[in-house]
A and B are shown apart, each in its own frame.
Chain A
Amino acid sequence: LAKTTQPISMDSYEGQEVNITCSHNNIATNDYITWYQQFPSQGPRFIIQGYKTKVTNEVASLFIPADRKSSTLSLPRVSLSDTAVYYCLVAPTEVTGGGNKLTFGTGTQLKVEL
């Protein structure tokens, strides 16, 4: 399973764009990249998922370069309510007999200030 590395923390101000990068050097061909958001004492919540190039939804964009060894979550115009921990998860697509140890990394604590 691909190991992920993210910055431990990031600070930003309201209205700014925030980019959080995740490194996953040993990503496998069939792995997808998924980002989750977690508020204190709550379960993580799905934000976005992609395989390559760029994916955009109503809350974020995900940029994945051609070599797929990293990915960048982009949050446009953050607000105070975006203060949370953001996790990058690399997961295989194939169902295997061994199951999937969907292991999260340490995550990135994003703090947004006025």
Chain B
Amino acid sequence: DSGVTQTPKHLITATGQRVTLRCSPRSGDLSVYWYQQSLDQGLQFLIQYYNGEERAKGNILERFSAQQFPDLHSELNLSSLELGDSALYFCASSVEAGGPPSSGELFFGEGSRLTVL
């Protein structure tokens, strides 16, 4: 158990819909990262938050948005969903904005599997 909690574990929805994925980081971790992993693909970095502020953006679509709340949990909002958005969405946390190495590692949740029909 990494200590990072993601909900829901599975989600099935239709094209055009909107969903929200939730992540609770490990206790004490200030930084949250979101990744997308499509079938047989690598991990695509989406966005990073540190202590409530956006710090880095990767290949995140304009239809996607995220935020980190004062209690440090984070949400990833996916709207106008398309078939190609079907993927595993992972959240990871670390102590510091810089990630490794002083904190030692990124801790990943078990992911939220999104299926768009």
Question: A residues near B, CB below 8 A?
Answer: 32, 34, 36, 41-46, 49, 51, 87, 89, 91-107
Contacts and interface: CB of A to CB of B under 8 A. Distances in A.
List of 4 A-B pairs having minimum Cβ-Cβ separation, nearest first? A99-B55, A99-B56, A43-B108, A46-B105
Given A100-B55, A102-B33, A95 B96 contact: yes
A103 B48 CA distance: 11
Contact of B56 (A44, A98, A107): A98
| Among B2, B54, B99, residue most surrounded by chain A Cβ atoms (within 10 Å) | B99
B108 A100 contact: no
Given A46-B106, A91-B99, A104 B56 contact: no
A32 B100 contact: yes
Interface string B55-79: 1111000000000000000000000
Interface of B: 2, 4, 33, 35, 42-43, 45, 48, 50, 54-58, 88, 90, 92, 96-102, 104-111, 113
Given A104-B42, A105-B42, A99 B101 contact: no
12 contacts: A34-B100, A43-B4, A44-B43, A45-B108, A49-B104, A89-B100, A93-B101, A98-B56, A99-B54, A100-B56, A100-B97, A104-B45
Interface class of chain A by DSSP: loop
A89 B43 CA distance: 11
A107 B42 contact: yes
Contacts of B104: 46, 49
A42 B83 CA distance: 22
Given A43-B90, A43-B110, A44-B108, A104 B101 contact: no
Given A91-B98, A99-B56, A103-B58, 13 more contacts: A34-B106, A36-B106, A42-B110, A43-B4, A43-B90, A87-B42, A87-B43, A91-B100, A95-B98, A96-B98, A102-B45, A102-B48, A104-B42
